[in-house]
Chains A and B, each alone.
Chain A
Amino acid sequence: MTQRQRTPTGTGSGPGAAATAIGAPLPGDGQEHLDEPMFDLVGAQGLLTGTTQGNGALGWVRQHQTAIAGVLAIAVGLGIWQATSLVMNPIFISTPSLVAPALWHLLVDGPLPADFLRSLLEMIGGVLLATIVGVGIGLLMGRVRILERALEPLVAFGNATPSIALLPVMEVWFGFGETARVAFIMTIAVWPLIVNTHAGVRAVRGRLADVGTTFGMSHWQQIRYVYLPGTLPYIFVGARISLAVGAVGMILGGQEIGGTGLGGLVTVLGARSETAPLVAAILTTTALALFLFWALRQLQARAFPWIAATSAGRRE
């Protein structure tokens, strides 16, 4: 492959030029390089104005390059979305100028706050239950050889079952209220936690477990001092996946069981072809999920800073 010159940084100096050369995305490379500028806007600017030393406004722009790029991308996206109304009937994807007031109405004199709260609580309840059950089962599987043998095929089976198929089962067991919805979210979200906790215990078994043995720890002391904390990086990975699939369960549960919460709201608005409030409701769902992801990251960073700092958590 020939190296393609991608930026007009003719001056060849300044941190921007170096970042472009090093930050070139590698093949098969994931997210890591996304925050590095693909095109060195400021470097180009420097070429045009004949200066590479950022001073005043230019220096500020150089410092906040990434943030500016993000804001610009959103602005451009919104602009294109708004422009679609010129060629498309807004009933399909609406426009920002219609969605914004619709969101306002849903918030101020609509059902959104109540639905949001209901969905949020069901989601937190379901994922918390899934965490307790999933971490418990994962730890047991990792620590008790016979349970590991017995449960491994069952977990593989449950993990492979498309959870939506279980929705009617939840209705049969728990009726059409919030119990069924929370149970459904839990059923969906528990598998990644079981699988990841189990994998974490197995990783601890190979190394840190020796520390527990050498100090003569009892079975429970080993879990408390070594296995549970040692498995935390894996539990957090599992919890993140659980939140993602749990959000699907939250919407599905709201749609199918009782028609409430954000899922119910989305269904009703869709049936009425009220696209602007529908899009507003969908964006609210996204915001809820993003908020939960953020909260989980905060919890990890504040309570367990060692996870990010040690190799076990470096997959971040």
Chain B
Amino acid sequence: MTGEATYTTQDPPTAASDPVAPRSDRDKILRIESVCKTFFTTRRTVHALDRVSLDVHRGEFISLVGVSGCGKTTLLRILDGLDTADSGTISLDGVKLDGVSHDMSYVFQDINLLPWRNVLDNVALGLEVRGVGKAERRARAMEVLELVGLASVAKVPPYTLSGGMQQRVGVARALAVRPKVLLMDEPFGQLDNFTREALQVEIANLWEKLGTTIVFVTHDVDEAIFLSDRIGLFQPGPGRLTEILDVDLPRPRTDYDVRAHPRAIELRAYITEHLRGGKEAAR
């Protein structure tokens, strides 16, 4: 018991001496400063977020990883304006945000497609709300559907699609409004393993192609390593962002087996250890 786990504390992989072209020297698109959030229920008080600060760089893929209830989803919801912070500020491109931003869109864990609209009209929803004309919004929605390979089911009701296809529609709906930042809340959490892996590759390709900044919440460590430039580690009780790791693995990562890469193995061991420690602390 005493012998193990020492390497993780002595050799934090954050201090990578020779990072592989980090995107961290790009400018900051999103600044999160000292965000706090407490939920009051009749039974107890939950400190969901305690002074969380984070800079997100333009064009990067950053994942927030932690055990359930560590506040990572709460932070994402606050970024999108679905929840409000008790204190702290969020600014996008230097402008302080108040409420919902039109420059960010959200991909939900439970997908949340509107069953009374067909796939195309679901994807066009954000544009319709913004007053884009029917012909133009349909054309733009169709473009995004082609991007995710779902043009053939544009006229179909969403509930006839498989879970994986539904979530691709969910991604298309979020992308259709051309957001500067895409917020993804455990988007593949409800899918089976094979579908999840296929969608991970797809989202990696989409990100390479579009260059959209992505903030991605997950508790799947391998998923985070495969997709991310950086990984923010959350600890629960109260929810804190305790560490940010650079994922200095070469891209494109679809070209090799990331899970077998020695650096990935090292990162996974470190993150797992970190999360386990947090879980124990929460008890």
Chains A and B are bound partners? yes
B112–A210 CB distance below 8 A: yes
Q: CA of A234 to CA of B159 in the docked complex: distance in angstroms?
A: 19
Residues of B within 8 A of A210 (CB): 82, 106, 108, 112
A221–B129 CB distance below 8 A: yes
A215–B129 CB distance below 8 A: yes
Judged by a CB distance under 8 angstroms, whether B217 is at the interface is no
Chain A's nearest CB lies how many Å from the CB of B140? 14
**Residues of chain B from 12 to 66 with CB closer than 8 A to chain A in the complex:** none
Prevailing SS type, chain A contact patch: helix
A213–B115 CB distance below 8 A: no
Q: CA of A310 to CA of B106 in the docked complex: distance in angstroms?
A: 23
B102–A306 CB distance below 8 A: no
A214–B115 CB distance below 8 A: no
Q: CA of A211 to CA of B121 in the docked complex: distance in angstroms?
A: 14
Chain B's nearest CB lies how many Å from the CB of A309? 5
Residues of B within 8 A of A310 (CB): 115, 159
In the complex formed, the residue of B with least CB distance to A210 is B82
Judged by a CB distance under 8 angstroms, whether A208 is at the interface is yes
**Residues of chain A from 210 to 227 with CB closer than 8 A to chain B in the complex:** 210-211, 213-217, 221, 225-226
**Residues of chain A from 192 to 238 with CB closer than 8 A to chain B in the complex:** 207-208, 210-211, 213-217, 221, 225-226, 229-230, 232
- Assuming A207-B112, A306-B157, is B125 touching A215 (CB within 8 A)? yes
B114–A215 CB distance below 8 A: no
B106–A306 CB distance below 8 A: no
Q: CA of A229 to CA of B122 in the docked complex: distance in angstroms?
A: 13
Residues of A within 8 A of B102 (CB): 216
Residues of A within 8 A of B116 (CB): 229, 232, 304, 306
- Which of A211, A304, A306 contacts B125, CB < 8 Å? A211
A214–B82 CB distance below 8 A: yes
Judged by a CB distance under 8 angstroms, whether B110 is at the interface is yes
B100–A208 CB distance below 8 A: no
Q: CA of A211 to CA of B173 in the docked complex: distance in angstroms?
A: 10
Residues of B within 8 A of A229 (CB): 114, 116
- Assuming A216-B129, A225-B129, is B112 touching A211 (CB within 8 A)? yes
B157–A309 CB distance below 8 A: yes
- Which of B108, B110, B157, B177 contacts A215, CB < 8 Å? B177
In the complex formed, the residue of B with least CB distance to A226 is B114
**Residues of chain A from 296 to 316 with CB closer than 8 A to chain B in the complex:** 304-306, 309-310, 312
B129–A309 CB distance below 8 A: no
Chain B's nearest CB lies how many Å from the CB of A91? 54
Q: CA of A214 to CA of B184 in the docked complex: distance in angstroms?
A: 12
B126–A215 CB distance below 8 A: yes
Judged by a CB distance under 8 angstroms, whether B186 is at the interface is no
Size class of the A contact interface (CB-based, 8 Å): 20 to 34
- Which of A208, A213, A221, A309 contacts B114, CB < 8 Å? A208
Q: CA of A304 to CA of B116 in the docked complex: distance in angstroms?
A: 7
B159–A306 CB distance below 8 A: yes
Residues of B within 8 A of A304 (CB): 116
B114–A214 CB distance below 8 A: no
Judged by a CB distance under 8 angstroms, whether B246 is at the interface is no
**Residues of chain B from 161 to 191 with CB closer than 8 A to chain A in the complex:** 177
Chain A's nearest CB lies how many Å from the CB of B214? 15
Judged by a CB distance under 8 angstroms, whether B69 is at the interface is no
Residues of B within 8 A of A232 (CB): 116
A207–B129 CB distance below 8 A: no
Chain A's nearest CB lies how many Å from the CB of B190? 13
Q: CA of A229 to CA of B113 in the docked complex: distance in angstroms?
A: 13
Residues of A within 8 A of B106 (CB): 210, 214
Residues of A within 8 A of B110 (CB): 207
Residues of A within 8 A of B228 (CB): none
Q: CA of A243 to CA of B108 in the docked complex: distance in angstroms?
A: 38
- Which of B80, B81, B115, B128 contacts A309, CB < 8 Å? B115
Q: CA of A232 to CA of B157 in the docked complex: distance in angstroms?
A: 17
Q: CA of A120 to CA of B126 in the docked complex: distance in angstroms?
A: 43
Residues of B within 8 A of A208 (CB): 112, 114
In the complex formed, the residue of A with least CB distance to B157 is A306
Q: CA of A75 to CA of B171 in the docked complex: distance in angstroms?
A: 58
Residues of A within 8 A of B126 (CB): 215
Chain A's nearest CB lies how many Å from the CB of B73? 12
Judged by a CB distance under 8 angstroms, whether B218 is at the interface is no
In the complex formed, the residue of B with least CB distance to A228 is B116
Residues of A within 8 A of B74 (CB): none
Residues of A within 8 A of B235 (CB): none
Judged by a CB distance under 8 angstroms, whether B213 is at the interface is no
Q: CA of A213 to CA of B157 in the docked complex: distance in angstroms?
A: 22
Chain A residues close to B by CB (< 8 Å): 207-208, 210-211, 213-217, 221, 225-226, 229-230, 232, 304-306, 309-310, 312
Q: What are 25 A-to-B residue pairs whose CB atoms are below 8 Å?
A: A207-B110, A207-B112, A208-B112, A208-B114, A210-B108, A211-B125, A213-B80, A214-B80, A214-B81, A214-B100, A215-B105, A215-B129, A216-B101, A216-B129, A221-B129, A225-B128, A225-B129, A229-B114, A304-B116, A305-B157, A306-B157, A309-B157, A309-B159, A309-B160, A310-B115
Q: Which 8 A-B pairs have the closest CB atoms?
A: A306-B115, A214-B106, A215-B126, A216-B100, A310-B115, A229-B116, A215-B129, A306-B116
